[in-house]
Amino acid sequence: MDAVWQRLRETGRLDGHEVRFFEQTASTNDVAMELGRAGAATGTLVVAETQTTGRGRLGRAWLSPPGMGIYLSMVLRPRLAVTELARVTLAGGLAACQAVERLTGLAPAIKWPNDLLLDGRKVGGILTETGAIRPGEPVLVVLGVGINVLTPPAAFPEELRGRATSLAGHGGRQYRRGDLLVALVEEVERQVARLERGEFAGLLDEWRQRDATLGRRLAWLTPAGTVVEGVALGPDDQGLLHIRDDGGRIHEVMSGDLDLLQR
């Protein structure tokens, strides 16, 4: 029995947080962005049992079968400079890994910037979106987290089956989404507070210990549509990934798709 989840579903309450719980919504990130724009407090949570158009990075769909996953968006207004906001995605990825590890003992790796992997298969992802930048005001950040908790392999479309997994599929147990959600919210708050205290270096050290791409050959599909092949050198102090291409040139990657090549 997932008592915490049931309580959340029935009461829409989680200690110290305003929670909007939906049986179904288009995308929790869209709802959180709307609430944030309307002035919702930092820490406001949007949770859904299912999303009809859950989104991932690069306009991809995020599969959100009912009752199988965590589909969560958090309204944040971190006290950070605009140039530091890329760090929030890394903080979110680390927080999600730590929450998963705390609850399940499984230790996900992170594929830059935000894919949570178990044995190379994707189990979760982070989608960070920002609101308008207004001088003197903290920027609104929506941190969206999707984790496949109970999703059975058959629920993934065939083309994803070899590349996606769930915590239950990997760990062979039925985990409680409610406990995981509580741990996730705690870890996100802990990591964001660390960023606000200027402790990004320590956070990055921990992130690097989970880096699934460091030293790996990969193909980077640039936003301009070209492909760069090279070796991942890890993220820099701003959170940008460095890749050394075969000609020795270093690229600083802000966005785009990464394909890990065979070892």
Q: x/- binding map, residues 67-106, to ligand BTN, per CB under 6 A?
A: ----xxx---------------------------------
Count the residues of the shown chain that bind ligand BTN, applying the rule CB under 6 A. 20
Q: x/- binding map, residues 183-222, to ligand BTN, per CB under 6 A?
A: ----------------------------------------
Determine if 55 is a binding residue for ligand BTN (CB under 6 A).
yes
Check: CB of residue 188 under 8 Å from CB of residue 92. Answer: yes
- Which listed residue (29, 98, 148, 191) binds ligand BTN by CB under 6 A? 29
Q: Is 111 left (phi over 0), alpha (psi -120 to 50) or beta?
A: beta
Check: CB of residue 73 under 8 Å from CB of residue 19. Answer: no
- Which listed residue (51, 148, 165, 213) binds ligand BTN by CB under 6 A? 51
Strand stretches in 3-84, DSSP E = 13-14, 17-22, 45-48, 69-76
Half-sphere exposure of 71 (CA within 13 A, CB side): 32
Closest distance to ligand BTN from the beta carbon of 56 (Å): 3
Considering the complex, state which of residue 56 and residue 131 has its C-beta at the smaller distance from ligand BTN.
Answer: 56
Determine if 56 is a binding residue for ligand BTN (CB under 6 A).
yes
Determine if 128 is a binding residue for ligand BTN (CB under 6 A).
no
Considering the complex, state which of residue 29 and residue 166 has its C-beta at the smaller distance from ligand BTN.
Answer: 29
Rounded Cα distance between 208 and 226, Å, is 27
- Which listed residue (43, 65, 78, 125) binds ligand BTN by CB under 6 A? 125
- Which listed residue (94, 127, 167, 181) binds ligand BTN by CB under 6 A? 127
Closest distance to ligand BTN from the beta carbon of 249 (Å): 27
Determine if 27 is a binding residue for ligand BTN (CB under 6 A).
yes
Burial of 225 (0-12, 13-18, 19+ CB in 10 A): exposed
Tokens of 207: 């992130």
Between helix 200-208 and helix 177-196 the angle, nearest 10°, is 130
Rounded Cα distance between 108 and 87, Å, is 19
Tell me which stretch binds ligand BTN (CB under 6 A): 52-60, 163-171, 196-204, 232-240: 52-60
Closest distance to ligand BTN from the beta carbon of 11 (Å): 21
Check: CB of residue 230 under 8 Å from CB of residue 102. Answer: no
Strand stretches in the chain, DSSP E = 13-14, 17-22, 45-48, 69-76, 109-111, 115-118, 121-130, 141-148, 217-221, 227-235, 241-245, 250-253, 257-260
Considering the complex, state which of residue 25 and residue 98 has its C-beta at the smaller distance from ligand BTN.
Answer: 25
* Binding interface with ligand BTN (CB under 6 A): 27-29, 51, 54-57, 60, 62, 71-73, 115, 125-127, 144-146
